[in-house]
Amino acid sequence: MSSDEMIYRVLGESGPQVSAVCLGTMTFGQQTGESDAHSQLDLALERGVNFIDTAEMYSVPPRAETYGATEIIVGRWLARQPRESVVLATKVAGPARSMGWIRGGPPALDRTNIRAAVEGSLRRLQTEYIDLYQLHWPERNQPMFGQWQYDPGKERECTPIRTQLEALAELVEEGKLRHVGLSNEHPWGVMEFVRVAREFGLPRVLTTQNAYSLLNRVFEYGLAEVCHREQVGLLAYSPLAFGHLTGKYLADPGARGRLTEFEGFGQRYSKAGVQPAVAEYAALASKHGLSLTQLALAFVYRRGCVASTIIGASSVLQLEENLDAWPIVLSDEVIDAIDTIHVRCSNPAP
C-alpha cells in the first residue's frame, strides 16, 4: 500500500507548514563534502521536502575544527534559493556536553549565549531569520544520549526556564527568530516550558526533537500524551538508529559508518539488546518483502505522534533510498507484528 505525495503538517497551533520528512544535515562538512551536500539539498527540495534541520555544533561528531561547518554549507545553498521556500531549523548548543570551543563552554543557556549563538548561525546560514530555533538539549541535569536514569545527586545550578524563554522572546521580537522549540527534552521540561510561556506571555515551544525509532520508543511512554495535549510536535531523529536499522551491522559489525569510523560515538546503540532486536525486525521486513530500511522508516514516517521525521544521509544514494521509503504504508498486520517485537525487545537503545 502506498501514498506517493509528500504531505505537510502545521507545527504547533499556528506554526509553519512543514513536510512530513525533514532533511537532517549533520553529516555535512565531515562525512559529506559541500558539493554532495548541495546535491542532497537539491534532491530533497525536488522531492517535496521543504524542512531543513541543522545546528551550530555540527558537523558530527563535534570537533573544534568543524564547528559551524554544516551551517556554512547550508547557508551557501540557501543563498541561491527563494528564502520563503525553505523552513529552516537550527539549534543552540547548551553546556551539558563539554565542548569548550563553543563560546568557552558554553557556560549556560543564558541571554548572552543564546544571542551570540543566534547571531553566529544567522551569519553562517546567510539569512535574516531562522524559522525554528531549538535548545539542543536541556541545561538542567537530565539523562541524555544513552543514559537512562535520572540522578538527583547530579543537580546543579542552571539558567531558569523563564530566563531562557525571555532571551528567545527578545530575538523573536527583533525578527531574528520566527518560532522556538526544544530538543532531547523530557516530559517535565516540555510541560514547564509550556507553563512558563503561558503564564508570562512568552514564546510557546512548537516542537521537541527527540530520538524515535523501532529501537527507541521511549517518547511514547510520557511525552506522547504531553505533546498531544499541549500541541507540541515531535521531530523524530535517528529513525534508522545510526545505521543499525539498515541491517548493515548484522552482516558486518565493522561496516563503514559513524559508529565504526568515530570512536565512542553513539553510546545508546552499544547496548547488548540492540542487535537481537535488529535481527527480529530484519526478519519481519524480509517476510513482508521489505528492506529493513523501508520497514524502519515507514514505521516512523506515518506514526501518529510524529510531526516530521528527520532523515540524514552521507550520500545522495542513501538519501534517495530514504525518500523512496516515503510512499510505503505498513499494514495493520505489520504494525501488530512490530508491537509484538517491541514488547519482547523493549527499547534496547533508549
Strands 8-10 and 233-237 turn out to be unpaired
With a cut of 60, say whether residue 208 has pLDDT above it: yes
Is 210 within 8 Å of 184 (Cβ atoms)? yes
pLDDT at 261: 67
Grid cell 523501532 — which residue? 214
With a cut of 80, say whether residue 81 has pLDDT above it: yes
With a cut of 60, say whether residue 2 has pLDDT above it: no
3-state secondary structure of 207: strand
Grid cell 565493522 — which residue? 254
All 3 cell numbers of residue 55? Answer: 545546528
C-alpha to C-alpha distance for 215 and 245, rounded to whole angstroms: 8
**Ranges of each domain in the chain:** 16-245+303-328
C-alpha to C-alpha distance for 67 and 29, rounded to whole angstroms: 9
Grid cell 509528500 — which residue? 6
- Closest by Cα among 89, 30, 88 to 58: 30
Confidence of residue 78 (pLDDT cuts 50, 70, 90): very high
pLDDT at 327: 97
Region of residue 48 (phi > 0: left; psi between -120 and 50: alpha; otherwise: beta): left
Q: Which of 58, 212, 237, 281 is catalytic?
A: 58
How many other C-beta atoms can be found within 10 angstroms of the C-beta atom of residue 51? 28
Q: pLDDT tens for residues 260-284? A: 666 666 677 778 899 999 999 999 9
Between 29 and 147, the higher pLDDT residue: 29
Q: pLDDT tens for residues 175-189? A: 999 999 999 999 999
Is 295 within 8 Å of 320 (Cβ atoms)? no
C-alpha to C-alpha distance for 128 and 333, rounded to whole angstroms: 48
Mean pLDDT throughout 309-327?
96
3-state secondary structure of 310: strand
C-alpha to C-alpha distance for 196 and 81, rounded to whole angstroms: 37
Architecture of domain 16-245+303-328: Alpha-Beta Barrel (3.20)
C-alpha to C-alpha distance for 170 and 180, rounded to whole angstroms: 12
Q: pLDDT tens for residues 84-135? A: 999 999 999 998 777 999 999 888 999 999 999 999 999 999 999 999 999 9
Total residues found in the chain within this entry? 350
Q: pLDDT tens for residues 213-250? A: 999 999 999 999 999 999 999 999 999 999 999 999 88
C-alpha to C-alpha distance for 281 and 341, rounded to whole angstroms: 8
Q: Is 58 a catalytic residue?
A: yes
C-alpha to C-alpha distance for 298 and 330, rounded to whole angstroms: 7
